[in-house]
Amino acid sequence: MVAKGDKERSMEQEGEEEMKMVLNCPPIHPLPEEIKKKKMERNETICHYCGVSYLVFHDFQQLHARLARIEAELRELRGTAEREKARREALELGRLEWKRALQLEVQRQAEEKDKSESRRARKEAQRSGECPERGVRKERNERKKTEMKGEYRRINEEKRETT
């Protein structure tokens, strides 16, 4: 025993399948060549009593073909948009990686500079007879002050760029 809802659904599915078949098959009686060649105006093909075109099936098929072309174009555009989005994300990732590598390199160079300046400051302190640690601290404080000024400028530049 088939439920009433199941029967209705199966009838709807059959109707949809039949409609797909009708849309995709060529008409049983195609338009005569003289009508195809003439490219009749819409007002020449409509019933003056009810306003429906005599060539409604032909019009329907043309609209269906146009819909299929537009849907294919839309799929292509969506694919293009997805590819562009992926490229943009890859470029942004590459930019971030490059920026991080640059920061690491700058940090490494600063550390090397710190070490060489510390060595230099110790040597100078030993030559002048001062406490070596005092010279190193003084040099380090000067360097930190310079770094903080540079960081302050960089932050201000980033704020200006974002606004």
pLDDT value at position 10? Answer: 75
What confidence category does residue 143 fall into, taking pLDDT thresholds of 50, 70 and 90?
confident
Give me the mean pLDDT over the 75-90 stretch: 95
> What percentage of residues in the chain have a pLDDT greater than 70?
71
pLDDT value at position 137? Answer: 75
What the block records as the tokens of 108 is 């490494």
64's CB contacts (< 8 A; 6+ apart) are 23
Q: Provide the mean pLDDT of the chain.
A: 79
Which sign does the torsion angle of CA 31, 32, 37, 43 carry?
Answer: negative
pLDDT value at position 122? Answer: 73
